[in-house]
A and B are shown apart, each in its own frame.
Chain A
Amino acid sequence: MNLQPQFARSKVVPVRNAARIAPPPRLSRKPERRTPRSYESAPPDAILFISVACLVAIGMVMVFSASSTTAYAVHHDVAYFFKRQLMWLGVGSLAAWGAFRIDYTKLRAFAPALFILTTLALVAVLVPHLGASVNGSRRWLGISSLSIQPSEFAKLTLVFFLAVRLADMGERILSFSRGVVPLLVATFLVALLIQREPDMGTASIIVAIGFAMLFVAGARIPHLLGGLLFTAPVVVYSIFAHSYQRERILAFLNPWKDPLNYGFHIVQSLYALGSGGWWGVGLGASREKFFYLPEQYTDFIFSIVGEELGLIGTLTVVALFIVFATRAVKIAMRAEDRFGYFLALGCTALIVVQAFINIGVVTSSWPVTGVPLPFISFGGSALVVDLIAVALIANVGRRRRIGS
């Protein structure tokens, strides 16, 4: 397999004559394209599609199962959340179809505007009368069930923005002050706004995506470490400023120390996973979802997967994410242009980093941060964003230069 990125091999030379050979008889009244295409569409990556479809299918079933208790108790309709998730799957599929069909290279021009728009939305969320407050954090814009979470879209926007900048920048990424610093500043700006909501989980995901993209762009390791060193005081301060936050974040080290308070989430999550054993207690038969495990259909849905489907189910999900990552990275490395390369890798990071941090949290390997599990957790904005991200990866993979 040749893993050499295509863009590195030669300059793009439009082959105008290729399209003129034997023009097909046109039946439609649509006028003929003035400048013929220099790219053709390859069939979409089947394995990528299947792995994501499996994850989405597992997610829909598990959202129905895990949310049914809360849905019935609060809304007297077991399918309350399932129906909403189904609606968002529809919206997400349409958006993904659009993201798949569009010529992604033409999106480059929108990146700065999109970035500014997202930043404004994140600021708007913090304005008292615009942002809806749930459980003490302002994350939503809009009303009730139709609200959107700008921080979810911010992930995608940042990936997009960084991909454009990195593609334009080229070797300049090797420079600290002109390459690494501006991009890190942009990343931290977004992360800081999200952290103010407060939403430490998404903020840390933003930072992780930023560093991952700089890393794959070839930024020098000492530069990245310098950037990390710069963030360290902020992280340390936010952890140790308030004792409750410290206890909460460090609870994963020993959840049994305080199982009814700070360790509660993790202990219940481990109970759920442990109860599942090898084969699970059976689909729908989770006990922990009966109000023992908090956030059982959002951030801790993976515990319910573990309880109902067992180790077999959880390993399947992990394997599906690795299969997805394998195909996504392969597509990125075969990308026709630098922008596609960065876009695909950024989207991959967006999904896989979230997935593994989420699984890390529920297995008590990582501090408790509110991160949803892509494709599986309940949440409309996240599902739409994740589906768009996958579509963009597939879009990158589809683009083949004619004749290559």
Chain B
Amino acid sequence: MVPPRRSRETAILKRNFARTATDRARWFYIGIVCFGVFLAGKLAVVQAMQGPGLARDALAQRSDTIDVFARRGSILDRNGAVIARSLPSKSIYAVPHDISDPDTVARKLGKIVGKLSPDTIAALHDKSLWFIWIARKVDHSVAARVAALNLVGVAERREKTGRRVYVDGPEFSSTIGFVGTDENGLDGLEYSLNPWLQGRSGKETLETDEMGRPLPFGHPIVLKRARPGYDVELTLDAYLQFVTERALEKQVKKYHASSGVAIVMDPKTGAILALANLPHFDPNHFWRYTNAQRRDRAVEDAYEPGSTFKLVTAAAAIQSGKVTLASRFPARDQITVGGHTIHNADDGFTAGSHGTESLENIIAYSHNVGAAEVGMSIGARTFYNMERAAGFGEPTQIELPGENPGIVPKPSQFSGSSLATMSFGQGVAVTPLALTRYYCAIANGGLLLRPHIVHAILKHNGKLVYRYPVQIERRIFSEKTASILRKFLRAVVRYGTGDPAAQIPGYTTAGKTGTAQIEENGVYQPGAYVASFIGMIPARDPRFVILVKVDRPIGSYYGSQVAAPAFDTIARAAMLHAGLLPQVVAKRR
């Protein structure tokens, strides 16, 4: 313990060492207090003086204006059953920068949201990225399963528009249409009713965390209130729609047909109760189908109606008074008009070459020659006026988009054989809907109604906003004429082409078969037919008018064989569904 060197200075220091140490402890303490006071001053400057400015900047940093979800209105059937509705959706995103093991993350996510694309997986490996989408618009349940994985760098955010769910899949599909990813209606009622259905998303300024998620105790500022869309109640009946689809499907499959349409309409109100199209599609995955598969053939396609159009000729003849029930026409199976030879169909109801037949016989046996003779006897103007009065050649103005007005040539455009062929439905084109509407007029006593498929508009809380009224366009013919036409149609089923295919035990039915050739580029295609049947039930005071149309059937092309069985099925179901039970018929001994 000898000091290194003895000097005067060291000796003094040694003597005063204890003193020095004490002083040093004091200086140490003074240093601490000074540093503490300095820090206190600095805190006062930062918190008290600069505080308000810093607080403002911090608020700006964490404030985020977000879009608030507004639910798109639901589409309901006439009984309130949901056809289409929107669910709040979430999107899942990733922050590749924070992901340490991209392959595991990709594998785990793939199990829940479906296999990730190679691009997404490559992006997950890119450490320089801070944001990539993993899955857009998934259910909350899917998002919850992803959240349960507890993956670092994977998060979710709410979407301002929901995810559209079509509960019944392909049912209703061609009528309802579909929406795009932003829930904008692209086709069908979704398109035409878009202004009603679409909600208006709101805007809010929120305090959010670093990832943009709202803070639990932030004070949101509502910039724009979100307004959910209106619900739409349709006139369609989910049960009848189901039956109609199945009945049509059965016939289309049985005859390997290319397409088919079936419409059930209430003749008293013009409400469409069921509207089936084949082929149909799943609107939940609309992008997997072609345009042809998504067509609403009931309103978009006009076709040559064939024999079902003879009722227009008959109506013109009766209403004009030029033909009465007593009028007789020569019975022939062939006639040449304007260089064009017209035949009766070879269906076992030929007219023979002797004698005469009444208008009722012509309709019941569906004689083309007879219809042509009736048409020529009443004249082009009378016939054309009835066509236009019946609403052909103009859109029916139903709420469905893309309606085809049909083709009804003016008398001035007629060629030599036009009037004759049009009298049995060749050379004019109408949509199935327009034809059904015309038959409704026959059923309801001569009033042409505006068909409608939308019943009411409701607020999201169920309050009625607007109810679509029954709209009468005009009277086409008198009630007397209507009852005569119904008698003709009854005759078809009783003993004509509809016997016995359209007869339903316990009910009275009336209707008309139709078999038309399909024309393409001005040439009638050999072997290509449209088989159709339009009927009403019960015959006296019809409750339902039902059209069934099957395109290009193979094996048979008669409306009675191809289309009438579907009418049978639909009509029974409709009557029972309406609570109208069959009446017991005494069996003949």
Q: Which residues of A contact B (CB under 8 A)?
A: 3-5, 8, 69, 74, 76, 170-172, 174-175, 177-178, 212, 215-218, 220, 270-278, 285, 287-288, 290-292, 306, 310-311, 314-315, 318-319, 321-322, 325-326, 329, 332-333, 341, 345, 349, 352, 356, 359-360, 363-365
Selected contact of A290 from candidates B13, B54, B210, CB within 8 Å: B210
Please report B residues at the A interface, Cβ cutoff 8 Å: 1, 3-4, 10, 13-14, 17-18, 20-22, 24-29, 32-33, 35-36, 38-40, 42-44, 46-48, 50-55, 57-59, 61-62, 150, 152, 207-211, 215, 217-218
| Given A274-B50, A290-B210: A363 in contact with B4 (beta carbons within 8 A) | no
Is B32's CB under 8 angstroms from A322's CB? yes
Q: 19 A-B pairs, CB-CB below 8 angstroms?
A: A3-B22, A5-B22, A171-B1, A174-B3, A174-B13, A175-B3, A274-B52, A275-B58, A287-B62, A287-B218, A291-B211, A292-B210, A311-B48, A311-B51, A349-B28, A363-B42, A363-B43, A363-B46, A365-B39
Return the contact of B47 from the options A3, A171, A175, A310 (Cβ within 8 A).
Answer: A310
Q: In the complex, which residue of chain A has the Cβ closest to the Cβ of B32?
A: A325
State whether B18 touches A8 (Cβ < 8 A).
yes
Task: Report the Cα distance A237→B540, complex, angstroms.
Answer: 107
Measured between alpha carbons, how far is A117 from B215 in the docked complex, in Å?
A: 48
From B26, B33, B53, A3 is in contact (CB under 8 Å) with B26
Kindly state the separation between the CA atoms of A276 and B210 in the bound complex, as whole angstroms. Answer: 19
In whole angstroms, what is the CA distance A217 to B24 when docked? 7
B61 touches A292 (CB 8 A): yes
A322 contacts B46, C-beta separation under 8 Å: no
Q: How far is the CA of A337 from the CA of B345 in the complex (A)?
A: 130
Known: A292-B61, A360-B39. A271 touches B3 (CB 8 A): no
Complexed CA–CA distance, A352 and B36 (Å): 9
Inter-subunit contact A271/B209 (CB<8 Å): no
Contact in complex: A352, B32 (CB < 8 Å): yes
Whole-angstrom CA separation of A171 from B57 in the bound complex: 57
Determine whether the beta carbon of B215 is less than 8 Å from that of A177.
no
Among residues of A, the one whose C-beta sits closest to the C-beta of B2 is A172
| CB atoms of A333 and B22 under 8 A apart | yes
Which of B36, B59, B61 has the largest number of chain A CB atoms within 10 A?
A: B36
> In the bound complex, what is the Cα–Cα distance between A332 and B24 (angstroms)?
12
With contact pairs A170-B1, A271-B61 given, residues A215 and B28 touching in the complex (Cβ less than 8 Å):
yes
Q: B17 near A356 (CB under 8 angstroms)?
A: no
> A5 vs B308: C-alpha distance in the bound complex, in angstroms?
123
A76 touches B54 (CB 8 A): no
CA distance A273 to B58 in the complex (A): 10
Docked Cα-Cα span, A342 to B1, in Å, equals 19
Query: Does B47 lie within 8 Å of A356, measured CB to CB?
Result: no
Contact A273 B14 (CB under 8 A): no
Closest residue on chain B to residue A214 by CB atoms = B24
A356, B58: Cβ atoms closer than 8 Å: no
Tell me if A333 and B36 are in contact (CB < 8 A): no
Chain A residues touching B, majority SS: helix
16 more A-B residue pairs beyond the given contacts A218-B21, A271-B55, A290-B215, with a C-beta to C-beta distance below 8 A: A3-B26, A8-B18, A220-B13, A271-B61, A275-B55, A278-B51, A288-B58, A292-B61, A292-B209, A314-B47, A318-B39, A318-B43, A322-B36, A325-B33, A352-B32, A364-B46
Chain B residues near A174 (CB, 8 Å)?
A: 3, 10, 13-14, 17
The residue on A at minimum CB distance from B56 is A274
**CB < 8 Å: which of B14, B17, B39 contacts A359?**
B39
Residues from chain B with Cβ under 8 Å of A3 in the complex:
22, 25-26
Interface of B, helix, strand, loop or mixed by DSSP: helix
Contact A333 B54 (CB under 8 A): no
Q: Which residues of A contact B40 (CB under 8 A)?
A: 315, 318-319
In the complex, what residue of chain B is closest to A281 when comparing beta carbons? B55
Q: Could you say which of B14, B40, B46 has the most chain A C-beta atoms within 10 Å of its C-beta?
A: B46
What is the minimal beta-carbon distance from A159 to any residue of chain B, in angstroms? 14
Known: A174-B13, A365-B39. A311 touches B58 (CB 8 A): no
Q: How far is the CA of A329 from the CA of B32 in the complex (A)?
A: 10
Known A-B contacts A8-B18, A178-B4; the reply to A76 vs B55 at CB < 8 A is no
Q: Which residues of B contact A341 (CB under 8 A)?
A: 21, 25
Task: Contact check, B26 vs A274: say whether CB atoms are below 8 A apart.
Answer: no
Across the interface, which residues of B come within 8 angstroms of A314, CB to CB?
43, 47
Chain B's closest residue to A176 (CB) is B4
Closest 10 CB pairs of A and B: A274-B54, A8-B18, A290-B209, A291-B210, A271-B58, A311-B47, A218-B20, A277-B51, A175-B4, A275-B55
Q: In the complex, which residues of chain A have a beta carbon less than 8 angstroms from the beta carbon of B48?
A: 277-278, 311
Bound: A314/B209 CA distance, A: 24
Could you tell me if B39 and A216 are in contact, using CB atoms closer than 8 angstroms?
no
B145 to chain A, nearest CB (A): 15
State in angstroms the CA–CA spacing of A344 and B47 once bound together.
34
Do A292 and B62 touch (CB < 8 A)? yes
The residue of chain A having its C-beta at the shortest distance from the C-beta of B18 within the complex is A8
Q: Which of B10, B44, B57 counts the most A-chain CB atoms under 10 A from its CB?
A: B57
User: Contacts A174-B13, A291-B211, A318-B39: A270 and B24 contacting too (C-beta < 8 A)?
Assistant: no
Given the complex, which residues of A lie within 8 Å of B13, measured CB to CB?
A: 171, 174, 220
- With both chains docked as a complex, state the minimum distance between the C-beta of A358 and any C-beta of chain B, in angstroms: 10
A271-B25 in contact (CB<8A): no
* Min CB–CB distance B34 → chain A (angstroms): 10
Distance to closest chain A CB from B104 (angstroms): 17
Residue of A274, A333, A349 near B58 (CB, 8 A) is A274
- Contact between A277 and B52 (Cβ–Cβ < 8 Å)? yes
Q: What residues of B have a CB within 8 angstroms of the CB of A364 in the complex? A: 46
Docked complex Cα distance between A318 and B46 (Å): 15
Q: What residue of chain A has the Cβ atom nearest to residue B155's Cβ?
A: A73
Considering the complex, give the chain B residue whose CB is closest to the CB of A302. B43
Most buried by A among B53, B55, B61, B152: B55
Q: With a CB–CB cut-off of 8 A, which chain B residues contact A291?
A: 209-211
Residues in B whose Cβ lies below 8 Å from that of A310: 47
Chain B proximity of A76: nearest CB distance (Å): 7
Closest residue of A by beta carbon distance from B16: A218
Q: Which of B18, B47, B208 has the most CB of A within 10 A?
A: B47
Q: Is the CB of B25 within 8 A of A318?
A: no
Residue from A69, A216, A359 within 8 A of B25 (CB atoms) = A216
CB distance from A371 to the nearest CB of B (A): 14
Question: A315-B43, A322-B33 are known contacts. Are A329 and B54 too (CB-CB below 8 A)?
Answer: no
Instruction: Give bound CA distance, A123 to B58, whole Å.
Output: 43
**Which residues of B sit under 8 angstroms from A363, Cβ to Cβ?**
39, 42-43, 46
Contacts of A178 in B (CB 8 A): 4
Whole-angstrom distance between the alpha carbons of A4 and B18 in the complex? Answer: 8
| Chain A residues positioned under 8 Å from B152 (CB to CB) | 74
Given the interface pairs A218-B17, A315-B43, the reply to whether A356 lies near B55 with Cβ below 8 Å is no
